[in-house]
A and B are shown apart, each in its own frame.
Chain A
Amino acid sequence: MMSTNAISVEGVTKTFRIYKEQFRTIKERALHLGRIPFSEFDAIHDISFDVPEGSMTGILGHNGSGKSTLLKCIAGTLTPTSGEISVRGRMAALLELGAGFHPELTGRENLYLAGSILGLTKLEVESRLSSIVEFAELEDFIDTQMKHYSSGMFARLGFALAANIEPEVLLIDEVLAVGDEAFQLKCLDQIRRFNESGVTMLFVTHDVDLASSICDELIVLDHGRIISQGSPREAAIDYRKSLHARNDSTEPHSTSPTEEVSIVSVSLESEDRPVMTVRSDEPIGINVIATLTKPISDLVVAYAIKTIEGTLVHSSNTKLLNVDLSGVGSELDLTFVFENLPLLEGMYEIDIGAHSLDGSTLYTQANEVKRFTLTNSSVGAGIADLAVRAQLK
């Protein structure tokens, strides 16, 4: 049986004209006889892909890779210069949470306005109103002018509206970067529910871990071209390689490590799934993927967990943990496994480094390569979560 495609993109190119100077007025145009010097550049070039119905595809790319342009073309706000895009089903685009909200209007008034921009009738908004407000947790503020909202409240109402319009095709652009963590988790939850109920989703982000943890397939864009397309794990590696290539050319490391080892990815895993938030009482793994130009007999890989302020919490390395890396060929896939992390709730960072056994040669170093949130219900101040109780005599 052939599965149908909800979104199909065929050879789409979007060319922007970059004017050397902006001659907007008639006088200026007349002076230049209508010829304004410009150069053309393709924000996206000959992009083709299909998104099967009910699947979740992520588009990864660094800033300026054309991922937002591509999404806008699919959403219809931009018209491609050439190529064809077709979308099957009711489409909703979350290009920016809260787009279409007017600060002078109240939350309720804005829901009707933004709802009708998204194509909902008044009755359809009315019937969803209570669930939208509940989802956004804005029961007390719905009749307040939105200029008094915090940016988080703005975004919450935006996502709540989008989550409740029951789209068949949903385009999401970097929208989860807003709101507090609790709400981000709620949004992710909603996205998973959409996924389960068969909504086709196209998800644009530069957060590799997030994308690889929720998407079925990833497309990696670099300078407007697709450089990789396929399973999340492979695509994520390709993406990191492309980022790495960019970083190497632009900012050389101050510690001047040798180039025998390059770290491709560092991720946190729980039950073999990438995660961003960990609980203090569950097993967790720090997974490191790196490429080696040649086998290194005295390779040691080290990690350090630090608080966000930079205080070292714990560090160790493969030598101390009695793992021999001399047999590793061109690709290293290593996981440091923790039974639990008895630390207090907060944000932590991971450094990864590779050096020789005696420490004389630094192969690579990646500081603050991974930031994660740890949740813990224990209270207390400091870093460590010590098992303690108070006893009165």
Chain B
Amino acid sequence: MIEKQKTSQKSRKSVDNRSIRKIFSYRELLFNLTKTELQLRYKNSVLGFIWSLLNPLLYLVVFSLVFQEILRTSIPMFAIFLLSGLLIWNFFSSSLNSGTGAIIGNASIVKKIWFPREVLPLASVGASAIHFFLQACVLVLALLIFQHEPNWAAISLLPLALLVVIVLASAGAITLSALNVYYRDIQHFLEISLLAWFWLTPIVYNYNLVADRLGSSDWVAMLNPITPVVLAFQKALHNPPAGYLPDVSLWQYFQNLAIVLSVGLILLWGSLRLFQRLDSQLADKI
């Protein structure tokens, strides 16, 4: 309901687990904000959500043309390979992009009504997640059309990989949304960072291409937390022959994801703490 039995506003708030419970009690709002964000994106457009399907299709056509026909990549079934990594990357980057502006964009509500503001960046992650699932339909369709068989055993990696992205994106969106109120530069900085990050992630090229060049210091490539996620998706859905992706056991893939997940959870905890510290000043600064 509106507010639980007793609320207390102190000048210094203690940081504790209550924020997570508060967010959970406002899950209905999270759901509604997610819905609203999607509704607003397609209000007054004739094609509606079909636009979000056209985006990966366009990528598919253009990148296939460039990499398969012009640059002559050796990756078989390049279209499938590209989509496997691209869609999950889009989920991550659009979460951060829209999450960063979430609080500033809702300034009118933030200034007037109290509610756990963490819900706003989380709703951006939610909307991006729904998008991801819509776009995944294009990928499934491509698999069917090309009669491409995924690696059924590796499919079991995907729920974990998805969870990793959700945790990382949430941590990022929460942190950036609050910092962006203080430094509006964040938004612009993020834009170019994501562009660099995209090309530093093995999405349009395969991982081993980089690992071979790095030689014994190939662990550097694994410092990118999105890389294990992208690799898991490529392994499961594209399943290229040996030599393109790290030829290690699925257990190793699983372990890498688990490591990133634990790092992500620590980051998420840190982002919630940071948000709570900044929260009390948000309405003043916005």
Q: Enumerate chain A interface residues (CB-CB to B < 8 A).
A: 16, 24-26, 72-93, 95-96, 99-100, 102, 104-105, 109, 112-113, 116-122, 124, 145, 165, 167
Q: Shortest beta-carbon distance, B180 to chain A, in Å?
A: 11
Q: Which residues of A contact B32 (CB under 8 A)?
A: 112-113, 116
Whether B61 sits at the interface, judged by CB under 8 Å, is no
> Are B183 and A24 closer than 8 Å at their CB atoms?
yes
Q: Shortest beta-carbon distance, A23 to chain B, in Å?
A: 10
> Are A92 and B2 closer than 8 Å at their CB atoms?
yes
The CA-CA distance from A78 to B111 in the complex, in Å, is 8
> Are A79 and B280 closer than 8 Å at their CB atoms?
yes
Q: Shortest beta-carbon distance, A22 to chain B, in Å?
A: 10
Count, chain B residues at interface, CB 8 A: 40
Which A-chain residue is minimally distant from B189 (CB atoms)? A26
> Are B2 and A102 closer than 8 Å at their CB atoms?
no
> Are B11 and A117 closer than 8 Å at their CB atoms?
no
Q: Which 3 pairs show the lowest CB-CB distances between chains A and B? A: A76-B114, A79-B280, A99-B112
> Are B280 and A77 closer than 8 Å at their CB atoms?
no
> Are B36 and A102 closer than 8 Å at their CB atoms?
yes
Whether B62 sits at the interface, judged by CB under 8 Å, is no
The CA-CA distance from A116 to B224 in the complex, in Å, is 38
Q: Shortest beta-carbon distance, B14 to chain A, in Å?
A: 13
Q: Which residues of A contact B183 (CB under 8 A)?
A: 24-26
Q: Which residues of A contact B280 (CB under 8 A)?
A: 79
Once A118-B2, A120-B2 are accepted as A-B contacts, the answer to whether A85 and B9 lie under 8 Å apart by CB is yes
Which B-chain residue is minimally distant from A121 (CB atoms)? B28
A81-B11, A83-B11, A99-B112 given; 13 more Cβ-contact pairs under 8 Å: A24-B184, A76-B9, A86-B9, A87-B9, A89-B6, A91-B2, A95-B113, A100-B109, A104-B40, A116-B28, A117-B109, A119-B25, A145-B43
> Are B11 and A100 closer than 8 Å at their CB atoms?
no
> Are A25 and B184 closer than 8 Å at their CB atoms?
yes
Whether B26 sits at the interface, judged by CB under 8 Å, is yes
Which B-chain residue is minimally distant from A24 (CB atoms)? B184
Once A79-B9, A102-B36 are accepted as A-B contacts, the answer to whether A165 and B28 lie under 8 Å apart by CB is no
Once A102-B40, A112-B32, A165-B2 are accepted as A-B contacts, the answer to whether A117 and B7 lie under 8 Å apart by CB is no
> Are B36 and A79 closer than 8 Å at their CB atoms?
no
> Are B113 and A117 closer than 8 Å at their CB atoms?
yes
Q: Shortest beta-carbon distance, B200 to chain A, in Å?
A: 23
Q: Which residues of A contact B198 (CB under 8 A)?
A: none
Give the contacts of B255-270 with A (CB-CB under 8 A). none
Q: Which residues of B contact A165 (CB under 8 A)?
A: 2
Whether B185 sits at the interface, judged by CB under 8 Å, is yes
Q: Specify which of B2, B44, B182, B185 is in contact with A119 (CB 8 Å cutoff).
A: B2
> Are A86 and B283 closer than 8 Å at their CB atoms?
no
Q: Which residues of B contact A120 (CB under 8 A)?
A: 1-2, 28
The CA-CA distance from A167 to B7 in the complex, in Å, is 14
Whether B63 sits at the interface, judged by CB under 8 Å, is no
Q: Mark B1-24, 1 if CB is under 8 A from A, else 0.
A: 111011111110100000000000
Which A-chain residue is minimally distant from B112 (CB atoms)? A99
Once A72-B283, A121-B28 are accepted as A-B contacts, the answer to whether A104 and B43 lie under 8 Å apart by CB is yes
Once A74-B9, A78-B283, A86-B6 are accepted as A-B contacts, the answer to whether A116 and B29 lie under 8 Å apart by CB is yes
What are 13 sample pairs from A and B whose C-beta atoms fall under 8 A apart? A24-B182, A25-B183, A72-B111, A75-B114, A79-B11, A79-B279, A83-B11, A87-B3, A87-B8, A113-B33, A119-B29, A124-B1, A165-B2
The CA-CA distance from A245 to B280 in the complex, in Å, is 36
Which A-chain residue is minimally distant from B106 (CB atoms)? A100
Once A113-B32, A121-B28 are accepted as A-B contacts, the answer to whether A86 and B115 lie under 8 Å apart by CB is no
Whether B156 sits at the interface, judged by CB under 8 Å, is no
Q: Specify which of A24, A84, A105, A118 is in contact with B9 (CB 8 Å cutoff).
A: A84
Q: Which residue of B5, B10, B33, B113 has the most chain A CB atoms within 10 A of its CB atom?
A: B113
> Are A119 and B26 closer than 8 Å at their CB atoms?
yes
Which A-chain residue is minimally distant from B31 (CB atoms)? A116
Whether B110 sits at the interface, judged by CB under 8 Å, is yes
The CA-CA distance from A378 to B283 in the complex, in Å, is 51
Q: Shortest beta-carbon distance, A157 to chain B, in Å?
A: 15
Whether B281 sits at the interface, judged by CB under 8 Å, is yes
Q: Which residues of B contact A75 (CB under 8 A)?
A: 113-114
Q: Which residues of A contact B1 (CB under 8 A)?
A: 90, 119-120, 124
> Are B2 and A167 closer than 8 Å at their CB atoms?
yes
Whether B252 sits at the interface, judged by CB under 8 Å, is no
> Are A117 and B115 closer than 8 Å at their CB atoms?
yes
Q: Shortest beta-carbon distance, B43 to chain A, in Å?
A: 5
Whether B284 sits at the interface, judged by CB under 8 Å, is yes
The CA-CA distance from A299 to B275 in the complex, in Å, is 66
Q: Which residues of B contact A117 (CB under 8 A)?
A: 29, 109, 113, 115
Q: Which residues of A contact B283 (CB under 8 A)?
A: 72, 77-79
Whether B73 sits at the interface, judged by CB under 8 Å, is no
> Are B110 and A77 closer than 8 Å at their CB atoms?
yes
Which A-chain residue is minimally distant from B281 (CB atoms)? A79
Q: Which residue of B6, B10, B28, B111 has the most chain A CB atoms within 10 A of its CB atom?
A: B28
Whether B39 sits at the interface, judged by CB under 8 Å, is yes
> Are B9 and A73 closer than 8 Å at their CB atoms?
yes
Q: Which residues of A contact B281 (CB under 8 A)?
A: 79
> Are B36 and A80 closer than 8 Å at their CB atoms?
no
> Are B185 and A25 closer than 8 Å at their CB atoms?
yes
Q: Which residues of A contact B26 (CB under 8 A)?
A: 116, 119
